[in-house]
Amino acid sequence: MRVLITGGAGFVGSNTADTLLKKGYEVTILDNLSRKGTEKNLEWLKNNHKDLEFMKADVRDFDVMKSACMDKDLIFHLAAQVAVTTSIKNPKDDFDINALGTFNVLEAARLSKSNPIIVYSSTNKVYGNNVNLIPLKISNTRYEFDDPNFENGVPETLSTDANEHTPYGSSKYMADLYTRDFAAVYGMNTISFRMSCVYGTRQFGNEDQGWIAHFVISSILARPLIVFGDGKQVRDVLFIDDLLDALLLATDNIKKTRGQAYNIGGGINNTISLLELIDLLKKSIGKNILYSFSDWRPFDQKVYISDIRKAKQDFGWEPKISAEEGIKKLIGWVGENIDIIR
């Protein structure tokens, strides 16, 4: 099977490529190498897989995308501008990469006539401010939903019709909508994964994106952390290995998953707040964590938890790796690779 992975040198992309190459897939990764860590991930992939094909290119270039998608059976579209803060500072680049870039992938695949399966990496931010309208309760370390309708998290049926998506949420939602409409209008095999907090090995997290890796790396290197807000914000967290299982299961069940959107995250059983992560890191690393508080960032969600029951129903997927186990795996990887992370 011939596979294209856009953003293939990124965190999710490099892990996806590694997994597929080990299974004998013919893999091409396309990346402009603009994000920190991508060159290191590419070097790692090339050292381990001599048959990897690499294209240094950008999804904003339609002619390049037509060539890249021409003969592919499967496309994982992971290339994106990934930070809310960056989208607020530069909404044009955010739109061009996320909305136009995704359109280019879809249209290139449509013109290829091979009708590949396309999995689009969407986001929970497509739900906009509606998530913040869910009633909450507060404890010493976390916020929690205080509405029985959300006891399993946020379902795919939550309205996406709201203001305050942020430019990032808007561009990703437009791409999400196009992905699903290309299935409805053109009969294409598209799937949208509305992902929550994915973390794991080969993630070079920073303050704007990849917060679990950022906290782990900063703690190990004794770098001070800034906690925006009160630290009681909660996310469901998903280890990369579990995401890779979901990607493959969804594509294996394309007759059921075609044209669908799925909330993909750790779910109700794998949630953690910023304060709880800091406490876990203290215990796991065995030293004090340096951190201070700052103002809330615009449009931050106090709680987001994915309701993942639709994915289980449609393609039999649910996470296997607990938050504590996964974070300890990440701590181990950072410790073993500290030289390439500094």
3-class DSSP assignment, residue 258: coil
Provide the whole-model pTM: 0.96
Whether 43 shows a pLDDT value over 90: the answer reads yes
Residue 326 · residue 239 · CB < 8 Å: yes
The band of 291, judged by pLDDT with boundaries at 50, 70 and 90, is very high
Q: Which residues make Cβ contacts (< 8 Å) with residue 17, sequence separation at least 6?
A: 5, 8, 27, 29, 45, 49, 52
3-class DSSP assignment, residue 227: strand
Q: How many residues does the chain have?
A: 342
What secondary structure does DSSP assign to 208-225, as a single string? SS-HHHHHHHHHHTTPPE
Using alpha carbons only, give the angle 158, 160, 166 rounded to the nearest 5 degrees.
Answer: 130
Whether 179 shows a pLDDT value over 90: the answer reads yes
The band of 205, judged by pLDDT with boundaries at 50, 70 and 90, is confident
Mean pLDDT of the 70-74 span: 96
pLDDT tens track for 87-137: 999 999 999 999 999 999 999 999 998 999 999 999 999 999 999 999 999
Mean pLDDT of the 61-82 span: 97
Flag the least confident range among 126-130, 162-166, 332-336: 162-166
Percent of the chain surpassing pLDDT 90: 92
Considering only CA atoms, which of 219, 237, 226, 238 is closest in space to residue 341?
219
- Dihedrals phi, psi of 114, to nearest 5 degrees: -85, -10
Mean pLDDT of the 21-30 span: 98
Tell me which of 120, 127, 143, 168 is the catalytic residue. Answer: 168
pLDDT tens track for 48-63: 999 999 999 999 999 9
Q: In the annotation, is 168 catalytic?
A: yes
Residue 21 · residue 249 · CB < 8 Å: no
What secondary structure does DSSP assign to 293-313, as a single string? EEPPPTT--SEE-B--HHHHH
The band of 298, judged by pLDDT with boundaries at 50, 70 and 90, is confident
Q: Which residues make Cβ contacts (< 8 Å) with residue 193, sequence separation at least 6?
A: 119, 120, 121, 122, 246, 247, 250, 261, 262, 264
Architecture of the structural domain at 2-341: 3-Layer(aba) Sandwich (3.40)
Q: What pLDDT was estimated at residue 36?
A: 87
Whether 162 shows a pLDDT value over 80: the answer reads no
Domain boundaries defined on the chain: 2-341
Mean pLDDT of the 315-336 span: 97
